Structure 1
Amino acid sequence: MKVINRICKDCFLMDKKIQIAAIAVAAVFSILVLTSPTDPIPLPELNSNSKGDFVTILAENLDKPRAIAVSDDRIFVTEKDGMIRVIQNNTLLESPLATLRAADVFDGGLLGITVHPNFSNNHYLYVFLTYDENGNLWNKILRITESKNKLVDAETIFDKIPGSSFTNGGFIKFGPDEKLYVGTGTVSDASHLPQDLNSLSGKILRLNDDGSIPDDNPFSNSPVYSLGHRNPQGMTWDNDGNLFVAEFGPEKNDEINLIQPGKNYGWPEQQCSGNENFQDAILCYDPSIEPGGILFYSGDTLNFESSFIMASMRASNLYQLDFEEGLSSQKSILSGIGRVRDVVQGQDGSLYVITSNTDGKGFPDSMDDKLLRILK
């Protein structure tokens, strides 16, 4: 997987064209959603294998949503300003599960969320939170115990991850090994902390479920799993247990990386490829598409030509693609909803998607932001 695929300059619209197109798309979509939020609408740009798939709007008027977690009959969504929202029985509950004190910065706050592998018994939720302490920005991981959609306890299990106004990373997920993986961002594009093993900045971290360090991590007594990252935005594992991470470049060179323990992915010395001292990205986007959540689809409910699914904010699409075939295989699954922030797979094989039009970079309509479900 050393071959680098670079998207050509003509494959995606440049900023002004994207903005014009987004306005037109938002207008079309606002017409579509004037019906009841529970009415299914056909998928735009259907492929030949997905004629029976539909999009259902489960929730509207979410405020700067960032990430989704699914368990049992509930969906949990973080809102950047500090709320954990709950969707149960296809209904957004009026009261949030929790309201946390988050830093008021452009791309920080309450970010990632995940559920414990044994959530149905222990009711543990994990969130990634940016906070301000005496004028300094930090990030921490909280383990929340909930009961009947209410917070029972909140415990900080990992702290003092350097924070930033713009590049905090923030995605957290449990891997197939039931360890907690965390993507952290750099404090600034001029910082070399991602190359410093003693810093938590610009890393993929691997933790036990209580925040302690696993004995089999690649660096002794260190939570660092890989280093040299700029701003991780999504992570997923394929059926063979390989970990993939999507991350923002500075203005171009967004990357999809195959993460191997102990390896260095180059930032800020390398973008995508070119230095034999660092790992090459397996996909590189120039210009940027702002990748969000990613996943390998493992269900049999929906029929996709490729299993890798990726949300894109700047390109305003939900995509499928095949790593072996590269960027030429990239096809839209869902468009016409503006910026797409995160995508996860439900227990029934459906997909859940959140938009990101109220994040300060989009063109929200009166009902944004939305949680949508793609199903049969």
Structure 2
Amino acid sequence: MTRTARATSRSFAALTAVAIALTVAGCTAEPAAPQVRASDVVVETVTTDLAAPWSVAFLSDGTPLVSERDTARILELAADGSAREVGVVAGVQNAGEAGLLGLAVDDADRLYAYSTASDGNRIQRFTLSGQPGSLALGEPETIIERMPAARNHDGGRIAFGPDGMLYVTVGDAGDRASAQDLDVLAGKILRMTPDGAVPDDNPFTGSLVYSYGHRNPQGLAWTEDGTLFAAEFGQDTWDELNIIEPGANYGWPEVEGAAGRDEFVDPVQQWNPDDASPSGMARLGDTLYIANLRGRVLRAVPIADPTTHTDWFSGEYGRLRAAEVAPDGSLWVLTNNTDGRGSPTPGDDRILRIEP
């Protein structure tokens, strides 16, 4: 297999070096992050009473589509926040963290869904018929199937990059060693064409693998210049924010967090899992917004200095699963208090609309 080279900007490289130096020097304690409360920004409730929502994607006309992990339902939301079932993805196995996970929409308004089946994780593509308010899910076309799956560490985030390719996060599915095995798709970020084929310029010839050495990545976002960031769940020590380089090794399970070893790419920022558990991520303007589950915060990371952050809404809305930029330029955030690990309040789960 061959590996292509891609240069990372000098500013990001310098910031990474600072993070490595601090960690290796033993300065691993996180400084207290500035806090932002709901009263400091405009926050509206888009909809309530969802069942473990996992992802939201928007059609070209602005219609939001939402996945529910355990019910395998795909919902469309009306302007008044009411939810209507578009369809149920057949054959979904929901157990633990598995089920109906990420959604993405291509430029032809076809819906892509990542879900767990009896023989592994898969991505299916659906056409949608009807008009907003009466949309219906067509028959699925399987793009890729039999990706490693388990009750935990299923990855599940899918997103189209600025290059038109589909990027997919796949967890290690509980098999740690597989994250370092380039012949196995577990513990990887994949890059494929919209039809599931291997792009000619992927870093490993004939392989969907774009980067490896991941434990359970669930957040993807691109900056305006095309730099790809990914958020990743650690084990017991460090959750990570990484800049993804094609063909690069991010260390799991050999290392967790910054190690300062030449063979691995270190994160630009890391957090204690009690304060993070980062899932979905979105870029709005010059800031990355990361939804955190156990940490129960929306974490704002300035792209100009991704070694820093500000915490939003600490504990105010409970567990947060996903963040997505809506067509009107606002930020939508999904709570995840009904997923079996949270403490639901009346109306949970909900989608919040935020104007930073």
Whether these two folds match at TM > 0.5 is: yes
Q: Spell out the pairing of 1:327-338 with structure 2 (5 A cutoff).
A: 328-332=308-312, 336-338=316-318
Contact 1:85 1:92 in 2 (8 A): no
Name the structure 2 match of 1:139. 121
Contact 1:217 1:225 in 2 (8 A): yes
Any idea what SS the aligned residue of 1:266 has? coil
Name the structure 2 match of 1:291. 278
After superposition, what is the alpha-carbon deviation per residue over 1:49-68, rounded to whole angstroms, capped at 9, x for unaligned?
Answer: xxxx4222121111111111
Name the structure 2 match of 1:39. none
Amino acid at match of 1:112: G
| Shift, 1:281, TM fit | 0.9
Any idea what SS the aligned residue of 2:115 has? strand
Query: Alignment RMSD, CA only?
Result: 2.1
Name the structure 2 match of 1:266. 251
| Shift, 1:162, TM fit | 0.6
Q: Spell out the pairing of 1:139-218 with structure 2 (5 A cutoff).
A: 139-148=121-130, 149-188=135-174, 191-218=176-203
Of 233, 247, 264, the match for 2:232: 247
Give the whole-Å Cα distance in 2 for the aligned partners of 1:225 and 1:287. 25
| Shift, 1:348, TM fit | 1.2
Amino acid at match of 2:50: L
Structure 1 position 360 matched with structure 2 position 340? yes
| Shift, 1:87, TM fit | 0.6
Name the structure 1 match of 2:267. 281
Any idea what SS the aligned residue of 2:138 has? strand
Structure 1 position 228 matched with structure 2 position 218? no
Structure 1: runs of 5+ lacking an equivalent: 13-41, 47-52, 299-305
Give the whole-Å Cα distance in 2 for the aligned partners of 1:213 and 1:197. 14
Contact 1:233 1:292 in 2 (8 A): yes
Give the whole-Å Cα distance in 2 for the aligned partners of 1:131 and 1:271. 30
Give the whole-Å Cα distance in 1 for the aligned partners of 2:227 and 2:56. 21
Contact 1:69 1:77 in 2 (8 A): yes
Q: Spell out the pairing of 1:1-16 with structure 2 (5 A cutoff).
A: 1=13, 2=16, 3-4=18-19, 8=29, 11=32
Any idea what SS the aligned residue of 1:251 has? coil
Contact 1:60 1:368 in 2 (8 A): yes
Give the whole-Å Cα distance in 1 for the aligned partners of 2:305 and 2:81. 40
Name the structure 2 match of 1:44. 38
- TM-score by structure 2 length? 0.86
Contact 1:143 1:155 in 2 (8 A): yes
Give the whole-Å Cα distance in 1 for the aligned partners of 2:32 and 2:234. 17
Name the structure 2 match of 1:57. 45
Name the structure 2 match of 1:78. 67
Aligned pairs, how many? 325
Give the whole-Å Cα distance in 2 for the aligned partners of 1:78 and 1:131. 15
Contact 1:128 1:140 in 2 (8 A): yes
Q: 1:176 to 1:323 in 2, by over 3 A?
A: closer
| Shift, 1:151, TM fit | 1.0
Any idea what SS the aligned residue of 1:170 has? coil
Give the whole-Å Cα distance in 2 for the aligned partners of 1:323 and 1:291. 17
Contact 1:146 1:153 in 2 (8 A): no
| Shift, 1:319, TM fit | 2.2
Give the whole-Å Cα distance in 2 for the aligned partners of 1:313 and 1:129. 20
Give the whole-Å Cα distance in 2 for the aligned partners of 1:343 and 1:89. 19
Of 95, 98, 105, the match for 1:108: 98
| Shift, 1:338, TM fit | 0.8
Name the structure 1 match of 2:297. 317
Identical aligned residues as a percent: 36
Q: 1:244 to 1:284 in 2, by over 3 A?
A: same
Give the whole-Å Cα distance in 2 for the aligned partners of 1:159 and 1:80. 18
Any idea what SS the aligned residue of 2:139 has? strand
